[in-house]
Structure 1
Amino acid sequence: MHSLVSILLPLLSVIPSTISQSSGTFNTLTFNVAGLPAILNDNAVPGDKTANTARIGRLFTQHNISLIHVQEDFNYHATLYANDQHPHRTPTSGGVPVGSGLNSLSNFPWTGFERVKWEKCSTFEGADCLTPKGFTFMRVNFGQGVWIDAYNLHADAGTTAADLAARASNLRQVSNYINTHSTGNPVLVFGDSNTRYTRTGDIPNIFSTANGMKDAWIELIRGGVAPQPGTDALLCDNPSPNSTCEVVDKVWYRGSPAVDLRAVRLQYAGAKFLQENGAILSDHNPVLVDFAWRLK
């Protein structure tokens, strides 16, 4: 009997770890970190940009967020990384005017990282052609056999006809890339879309209609009903005390035949990212989303 127990116990100890690999959780954050040189744009944020960026990096580590996509990570990038401790981080593509400002910080490893420049940009309001803005792609390993394609984007800003056309082109470019490179895969798209459901001419629903994805804000906060173009703008304070207003920082996602992926909580996390005196660190509300996955 003793020999039988000694054989079975090691086998039984393996079972919980095997079961745990069939499901899991993680969270994501999209945050425009206002990293343009202060002489070009102070982003209406008080204080010193270097000090503010250092605090953002420390808060990234403190909150232990699984996967972070940042935008406008330009000339203060070294400070951001010097104060962050995520084990996996993308190398910078440079400051203004050579870099895209897009980077990712993760607790999970990835493969296949790529940077893609927009095919179309506009200079009418946002000087969007000043830097090679675009989107990034990576395939993130969230668990044994669980790979999710993650996209970070920073779309054209502005509201002129040229800006609207450029931004629509940007989102179509990402959508087409997903259809080519992520067929049959679970997908996350989150970043600064500069788009609003309430703005006539914007196309934030393209990932739903063309890629079978859900907008986490529409699903969890709006009960599945998107605001109509031309309605009240639902503009947010910064930091926003609630998530019922609309920001341009979006999170879209889908599962796959192999992986059930669900967004379970969304919050505007501006209150988690403030200066020590309570002032804002960026002109954007960061968006934090909790996800749960399960192998089918």
Structure 2
Amino acid sequence: MKKTISFILSLTMVFAMSATVLGAEQQSISTFASTGSDSTGSFSILSYNIGGLPAMFSSSGDPKNYIPQIGAKLHAYDLVNVQEDFNYHASLYANDTHAYRTPTSGGAGIGDGMNFLSKFPFEDTDRETWKDRYGFLDSGSDELTPKGFMYNQVKIADGVYVDVYNLHADADTDPKSEAARRSNLNQLATYIEQYSKGHAVIVFGDTNCRYTRTEDNLKALFVDRLEMKDVWVEKIRNGNYPEMGKEALLGRSGETSADNEVVDKIFYRSGAGITLNPTSYKVENKYFTDSEGNQLSDHYAISANFTYTRDNRIVYSDLWGGPGGIAFNFLRSTSPISHRPVSVAIRGDNRVDAISMTYDDGTVLTNGGTGGTQKTLDLESGEYINKAVIYKDEYKGADRIFYLELTTNKGRILKNGKKSGTALTLTAPSGTYIAGFFGRAEANVDKLGVIIRTLK
């Protein structure tokens, strides 16, 4: 139980990185070195509405000249969410050095203005337009472009995944804009409940909300509902949320203080096996300026630093597959940590349709659809799964899981689906076993990884 993560992370991973013929298994071995030093770490984030509307409509002053300067300064942060990245996007990226970045969705009137820049790899990007927006030539003009939110799953380190959300909510304070903004919060919260259950989450962007504004009801609709925390409230206000209905906390513009609430926010929550802890919060009132001290946007950027810590009893493997389906995590339940599997089942035929485990407390965890035929392996006393072979291949334009083979410490095998495409083999080292799964699934299993647990 108290073995260090460095022991757990001595995982043997086997990859067949070139295409294989149907039914043939081609493998090459790559052994991950111990990454125990990565069981804790840190990263920085930035949220910035960069005011990138065409110059004639922009309130940021001089976006053509300012946005290249913004791009040159973003390297100081590990994860960056930008909003209103419209007509000067090319100059932003031309001056930025992040290794991983989302492609633009288009200029004003076409794209949503949101992009994500990261020093860490990410997958499963999804852009969602708000169901409700209000205002064409007034009330924030939110209907002139498809504003909404963006999702990315980021691999901060081996075994450390964080779901990152960007948003730009409806603007203005007229009744119809306020109603649209409440709808925006509800839409995003519903998505997080469905797609990020059990996951560590950070949401940062332009909410156009204030805690003091009764009509926004921000704390109840978003923070309390999702059990998230606001980094400004945690680090600057000692956990005390502003009271709804009171005067707006305008403070001194650009100042990091308890009485200066900005509409740009950073929310976070920890996930199963991953603890997030913010260590700082700052309104960036000096860094994003030109040589004469002018602000480079009509919004101040906000930043925060985080540390992460992994539960030393478990570790997540790499993921294998495509972006379809809905994210799932068997650690949405405590059973994979507190109890041993007594049986495992794979449903499939031409592909893998579903995966499930039953634990010795009676809990059954299942994800996927109802197609194919189910095959089940009941585990004997002292038996556990220590190896998984996962094949992915393309189906209808995206990778899905075609074949899964599980082997126990007694040499028994459960398999389903058809071998096709490329294979990943995950082997748990001595003293550990496969306690569960995570990935993406709906009608089929689209992406799959395993959760390794120390033997009791």
Q: Is this a same-fold pair by TM over 0.5?
A: yes
Alignment match, 2:352: none
Partner of 1:173: 187
Matched, 1:282 2:297: yes
Within 5 Å, give how 1:56-75 maps onto structure 2. Answer: 56-61=70-75, 63=76, 65-75=77-87
- Return the letter of the residue paired with 2:106: G
Offset from partner CA, 1:155-207 (integer Å, 9 cap, x none): 00000110110000001101000000000000010100000001121122133
> What is the CA–CA distance in structure 2 between the aligned matches of 1:204 and 1:67, rounded to whole Å?
24
Q: Distance in 1 between matches of 2:157 and 2:227?
A: 23
- The residue aligned with 2:248 is 233
Whole-angstrom CA distance in 2 between matches of 1:243 and 1:157: 24
Query: What's the CA shift for 1:246?
Result: 0.3
Structure 2, unpaired ranges of 5+? 1-9, 11-32, 312-456
* Offset from partner CA, 1:12-50 (integer Å, 9 cap, x none): xxxx96321111100110000000111123x1x34x321
Matched residue SS, 2:187: helix
**Alpha carbons 2:217, 2:244 under 8 Å: kept:** no
Q: In structure 1, what is the equivalent of residue 287 of structure 2?
A: 272
Deviations 1:114-163 (A, max 9, x none): 10000000105101010000000000000011000000000000001101
2:211 match: 197
Opposite residue 291 of structure 1, the aligned amino acid is F
What is the root-mean-square deviation of aligned Cα atoms in Å?
1.5
Which amino acid counterpart does residue 154 of structure 1 have in structure 2? H
Q: Higher strand proportion, which one? A: 2
Superposition deviation, residue 236 in structure 1: 4.8
Contact 1:122/1:128 (8 A) holds in 2: yes
* SS of 1:271 mapped into structure 2: coil
Q: Is the 8 A contact 1:236 1:247 kept in 2?
A: no
**The one of 54, 58, 72 aligned to 1:37:** 54
Query: With structure 1 as the length reference, what TM-score do the two structures score?
Result: 0.90
> Any stretches of 5+ residues in structure 1 without a counterpart?
1-10
- Give percent identity, aligned residues only: 43
Rounded to whole Å, the distance in 1 between the matches of 2:74 and 2:99 is 12
- Corresponding position of 2:63: 49
Q: Distance in 1 between matches of 2:223 and 2:245?
A: 20
Deviation at 1:243, TM superposition (A): 3.1
Deviation of 1:237 after TM superposition, in Å, equals 4.3
CA deviation string 1:93-132 (max 9, x = no partner): 0001100000011100101001000000010510101000
Alignment of 1:109-120 (within 5 A): 109-120=121-132
Q: 1:193 to 1:87 in 2, by over 3 A?
A: same
Counterparts of 1:228-267 in structure 2, within 5 Å, are: 228-238=243-253, 240-244=254-258, 245-267=260-282
Shift of 1:276: 1.0
Aligned mates of 1:236, 1:70 — CA distance in 2:
24
Quick check: which has more Rg, 1 or 2? 2
Code of the residue aligned with 2:42 in structure 1: it is T
Runs of 4+ in 1 over 3 A off after TM superposition: none
Within 1, Cα distance between the matches of 2:195 and 2:109? 28
- Residue 307 of structure 2 is aligned with which of 267, 292, 295? 292
Q: Could you tell me which residue of structure 1 aligns to residue 237 of structure 2?
A: 222
Following superposition, the deviation at residue 92 of structure 1 comes to 0.1
Q: Number of matched residues?
A: 276
